[in-house]
């Protein structure tokens, strides 16, 4: 199975290094020296990582055969793809590969059916499950411990405890102005007749 593990960014310096946008939780395993990666577009690769280092919080890679800025810049926006055994699991038992989560049934903690995971969106702050509901609509569920309480790969389901309004229209709306209005009406003097 092929997984996208990074996207090549701009050239760094004049010796063929490139910045990369890491798209794996295991960069030391997937993006280490000697790793041979397929590419998209395919004509660009395969690429073999010669060196890697972190500079100012960004991963920099140099590939075999790429010795100058021009060669590095030609790789810009190329996706790096690793071949992964579909049975392989992440080292941390609380981590999952996207392919393990795809098509899981999503149910609430009380067993109500929500839908099926059709996509996983990786955002800077958190990941989101894109869940297709039985009626064809979609709902986005943040993949955070407070909401996704259980992933059961054997049963092929994800159990969620959604806050009000996440999967239904019964959101509790409260604002400071509403609270002030309620307090004002309770403390207003009654008319004396």
Task: Confirm whether pTM is higher than 0.85.
Answer: no
Nearest to 72 by CA among 20, 147, 148, 5: 20
In tens, the pLDDT along 29-76 reads: 788 899 999 998 988 889 999 999 988 888 899 999 999 999 999 999
Cβ atoms 37, 80 nearer than 8 A? yes
In tens, the pLDDT along 109-144 reads: 988 899 999 988 877 778 889 999 999 899 999 999
Instruction: Give the pLDDT confidence score for residue 182 in this predicted structure.
Output: 52
Q: What is the mean pLDDT of the chain?
A: 83
CA distance linking residue 2 with residue 97, whole number of Å: 11
Strands (DSSP E) along 23-166, which ranges?
Answer: 36-40, 47-55, 58-63, 79-83, 105-108, 113-122, 127-132, 138-142, 148-152, 157-160
Instruction: Give the pLDDT confidence score for residue 97 in this predicted structure.
Output: 76
Cβ atoms 52, 60 nearer than 8 A? yes
CA distance linking residue 5 with residue 133, whole number of Å: 29
- pLDDT category at 17 given cuts 50, 70, 90 is very high
Flag whether pLDDT at 77 surpasses 90: yes
CA distance linking residue 74 with residue 32, whole number of Å: 21
Instruction: Give the pLDDT confidence score for residue 132 in this predicted structure.
Output: 92
Report how far apart, in Å, the C-alpha atoms of 117 and of each of 137, 156, 188 are. Answer: 12, 11, 52
Flag whether pLDDT at 150 surpasses 60: yes
Report how far apart, in Å, the C-alpha atoms of 7 and of each of 2, 17, 23 are. Answer: 14, 14, 7
Instruction: Give the pLDDT confidence score for residue 5 in this predicted structure.
Output: 85
Flag whether pLDDT at 193 surpasses 60: no
What tokens does 152 get?
């059961």
- pLDDT category at 179 given cuts 50, 70, 90 is low
Contact residues for 1 (Cβ-Cβ < 8 A; gap 6+): 83, 84, 85, 86, 99
């Amino acid at each position: 199975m092929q997984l996208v593990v990074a996207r090549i960014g701009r050239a760094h310096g004049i010796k063929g290094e490139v910045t990369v946008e890491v798209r794996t939780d295991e960069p030391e395993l997937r993006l280490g020296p000697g790793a041979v990666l397929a590419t998209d577009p395919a004509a660009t690769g395969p690429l073999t990582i010669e060196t890697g280092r972190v500079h100012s919080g960004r991963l920099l890679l140099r590939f075999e055969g790429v010795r100058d800025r021009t060669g590095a810049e030609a790789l810009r926006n190329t996706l790096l793809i690793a071949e992964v055994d579909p049975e392989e699991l992440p080292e941390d038992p609380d981590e999952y590969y996207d392919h393990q989560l795809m098509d899981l049934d999503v149910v609430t903690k009380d067993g109500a059916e929500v839908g099926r995971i059709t996509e996983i969106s990786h955002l800077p702050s958190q990941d989101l499950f894109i869940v297709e509901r039985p009626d064809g609509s979609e709902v986005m569920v943040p993949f955070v411990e407070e909401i996704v309480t259980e992933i059961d790969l054997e049963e092929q389901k994800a159990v969620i405890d959604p806050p009000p309004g996440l999967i239904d229209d019964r959101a509790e709306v409260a604002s400071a102005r509403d609270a002030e209005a309620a307090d004002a009406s309770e403390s207003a003097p009654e008319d004396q007749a």
